[in-house]
Amino acid sequence: MKGIKLRIFKDRLFRSAVYALSLLSLTPLFLILLYIFKRGLRVINWEFLTRLPRPVGVENGGIANAIVGTLILVFLASLLSIPPGIWAGIYLAENKNSKLAEAGRTAVDVLQGTPSIVVGIIAYLWIVKPMGRFSALAGGVALAIMMLPVVVRSTEEVVKLIPPYLKEAAFALGASYPKTILRVVLPAALPGIVSGVLLAVSRVAGETAPLLFTAFGNQFMNYNILKPVNALPLVIFNYAMSPYEEWKRLAWGASVVLILLVLAGNLISRTVVKKWKVRF
């Protein structure tokens, strides 16, 4: 037995170290947020949000096309990934031990671990190459591939948690299997699914790498999904890497808009879970 004083000293030292290092790990986050808001907040005004980008040397460009582009991309990705994702998630939860469920779960793991830049290559090979040009559609597909595993996983996990007696009660009342799933299981699982989907959406809204060679970016406003579109993360990347101070200034503004968007998604997702959660 070592001296008790030394042991108490070590205990205190360790505790202080844990507190100090924890504080240290959160510091960069605060520094980054502070810096971005300091630089970006004053850039944002109505013109910034509603104008199109302008050539170098002309001041007061805007990011309207990037905001619209991000909305188009996220909408396309949601359309492509949410319905099949929820459906597949229900299958995985309902058929826990089938071979297909086993394969599906592995597939979800693989897709979730796939680096975003590789997803970009895939969308390029599948859409851009056959079509012969960059397009919003290709960007949407890339983001959909990123969303799909998250949607499947969160649906599966929520549906699994629904107590079997709910389903049994529906069956006992003579409800068919589709009716039970659509009218009992799905509504009960909805808050969990919505929160998972919102998290997925807010994550892909900030993704840049899969868009580099799919949506590609565009200096003009574009609503045609078969043509390239701009996106907030792309604007930040392109302007940040440019040598022009004015463009960098715009990139800070775009960063604030993007962060607020992502935070709103996260926040809403959390409230949904808290407010709507069905308790059993």
Which residues, numbered 69-88, are part of the site for other proteins (CB under 8 A)? 84-85, 87-88
Q: Is 187 in the site for other proteins (CB under 8 A)?
A: no
Give 48 or 237: the residue with its C-beta nearer to other proteins: 237
Kindly tell me the number of DSSP H helices and DSSP E strands found in the chain.
Answer: 12, 0
Give 98 or 223: the residue with its C-beta nearer to other proteins: 98
Q: Is 100 in the site for other proteins (CB under 8 A)?
A: yes
Give 202 or 222: the residue with its C-beta nearer to other proteins: 202
Q: Is 17 in the site for other proteins (CB under 8 A)?
A: yes
**Total interface residues for other proteins by CB under 8 A:** 86
Listed as own residue / partner, the contacts of 129-135 with beta carbons closer than 8 Å and 24 or more positions apart are: 131/226, 133/227, 133/228, 134/213, 134/214, 134/215, 134/216, 134/228, 135/214, 135/215, 135/225, 135/226, 135/227, 135/228, 135/229
Amino acid at 63: I
Q: Is 216 helix (H, G, I), strand (E, B) or coil?
A: strand
Q: Is 260 in the site for other proteins (CB under 8 A)?
A: no
- Joined together, the tokens standing for residue 235 give 């604007």
Least distance (Å) from other proteins to the CB of residue 203? 7
Q: Is 139 in the site for other proteins (CB under 8 A)?
A: no
Give 177 or 220: the residue with its C-beta nearer to other proteins: 177
Region class of 217: left (phi > 0), else alpha (psi between -120 and 50), else beta? left
53 CB-near residues (< 8 Å, 6+ apart): 61, 62, 63, 65, 219, 230, 235, 250
Give 157 or 278: the residue with its C-beta nearer to other proteins: 157
Q: Which residues pair with 216 in a beta bridge?
A: 229
Phi, psi (rounded to 5 degrees) for 227: -120, 165
Least distance (Å) from other proteins to the CB of residue 224? 21
Least distance (Å) from other proteins to the CB of residue 98? 9
Question: Which residues, numbered 23-52, are part of the site for other proteins (CB under 8 A)?
Answer: 24-26, 28-29, 31-33, 35-36
Give 21 or 46: the residue with its C-beta nearer to other proteins: 21
